[in-house]
Structure 1
C-alpha cells in the first residue's frame, strides 16, 4: 500500500510541476485521489486549497504566469488568455485589465467575478501554446482589441508596441483587419496611421 501512496504522490507532483504547481480536484480524482483523500491532504497542509476544486503544492514559488495557469485550469483547459489580458502577456501598450479575459468555445457556461469570457471559435493559427496555458497571438490580440471597447489611444499604443517588437507587420495587420469587419479595420488603419506618421 505504501508503494501505491508513493506512486500517487509522484503522479500528482509530476502533474503539478507541469502546471506551475496547480492541479484540479478532477485531475487528482483521475489520478486516484478520492474526494475524501483530497480533503485530508488539504486539511493536513500537503496541498494548498487555492479555490473550490483547485489546489497547489505548498511553498510553490510565485511566477508571473500563475494567474494564467490558474484561470486556464478553472476553465478546464478550454479558455485562451485573450483581449486585454493577452495584451498584458505580449507587453502591448499600457492596458491594465481589472479582470482576466479568456476566449472560450461555444457552450462554455462557467462564471466567476474575476473573469470576462469572450465566446468565439479561435482557429489554431491564432493561439500560442505556453505549456500549461494558451494565449492569443499578438496579431489576434490586436484584432480583438480593435473590436472591443479599447480606446483608440490604447489601441494605437498596442499596435505601435507590436510593430516595434516585430510581433507583426502593418501589412499582415491590414489583411486580417479587413476580415474582422469595417469598424475594426477603420480603427486599425487609424492606429497604423499614427505609428507610421
Structure 2
C-alpha cells in the first residue's frame, strides 16, 4: 500500500483498486484513496483519468481489459449486481451467442430505486444466495 499523508492522494492504493477492475474505479473508491472531487476533476482535465460514466473513471494508461464494459456496469451497481441470463452464459462459455444487451440481476430491494439505466443493460431483480453465485 501507499504511504500518502492524511489528505494526500495515494496513487498506490488507487492502483491496487483498479488492478482488479480493468483499470476502472468509482468516485467513492478514489475518495477512499485520498482523491477529493477537485483532485479527481484535475486528473480528468489533465488526461490521466477518463470519465466512463457518471461516477465511474478509468486510468488512461492502464491496459484495456477484455470485459471492461461489464466492469463499468458492475461498478455502477455498487458491486451488488450479478451478471445473469445470456450474459452469464457467455461469460462462462456455455453459449456461442453474444448477448445484444448486458443482463444484470440486482438485489430485490433495488426495485424501488430510481436511477438512470446504463445503455444496453437489462435489469432483473432477485434475492441470490451466496451459494448460487459463481
Q: Does the TM-score normalized on the shorter chain lie above 0.5?
A: yes
Distance of aligned partners of 1:107 and 1:39 in 2 relative to their CA distance in 1, 3 Å threshold = same
The secondary structure found in structure 2 opposite 1:107 is: helix
1:114-125 → structure 2 map (5 Å cutoff): 114-125=120-131
Q: Which has the higher helix share?
A: 1
Query: Do the aligned partners of 2:89 and 2:95 also contact (CA within 8 Å) in 1?
Result: yes
Deviation at 1:6, TM superposition (A): 7.1
**TM-score, normalisation: structure 2:** 0.84
SS at match of 2:109: coil
* TM-score, length-scaled by structure 1: 0.59
Count of aligned pairs:
127
Residue 133 (structure 2) aligns with: 127
Greater CA drift, 61-70 or 81-90: 61-70
Aligned twin of 2:94? 92
1:67-92 per-position Cα deviation (integer Å, ceiling 9, x unaligned): 22211101000100110100111112
Name the CA distance, whole Å, in 2 between partners of 1:26 and 1:6: 15
Once residues 123 and 34 of structure 1 are traced to their aligned partners in structure 2, the CA distance between those partners, rounded to angstroms, is 35
Deviation per CA, 1:124-170, whole angstroms, max 9, x where unpaired?
11111xxxxxxxxxxxxxxxxxxxxxxxxxxxxxxxxxxxxxxxxxx
Q: Which has the larger radius of gyration?
A: 1
Please name the residue that 2:20 is paired with: 18
Question: Shift of the alpha carbon at 1:106?
Answer: 1.7
Task: For residue 45 of structure 1, give the secondary structure of its aligned residue in structure 2.
Answer: coil
Alpha-carbon offset, residue 7 of structure 1: 5.7
Which SS does the other structure have where 2:10 is aligned?
Answer: helix
Pair 1:38–1:10, CA change in 2 (3 A): same
Q: CA RMSD in A?
A: 2.0
What secondary structure does 2:105 align onto? strand
Q: Determine if contact 2:8/2:34 at 8 Å carries over to the other structure.
A: no
CA distance, structure 2, for counterparts of residue 113 and residue 14 of structure 1 = 28
Structure 2 counterpart SS, 1:69: helix
Offset of 1:42 from its aligned partner? 0.7
Counterpart check, 1:43 vs 2:49: no
**Structure 2: any 5+ residue segments left out of the alignment?**
none
Describe the SS at the equivalent of 1:49. Answer: strand
Residue 81 of structure 2: aligned partner:
79
Q: Which segment is superposed worse, 80-89 or 44-53?
A: 44-53
Please give the alpha-carbon distance, in whole angstroms, between the structure 2 residues aligned to 1:112 and 1:58.
Answer: 21
| Aligned with 2:67 (options 58, 65, 68) | 65
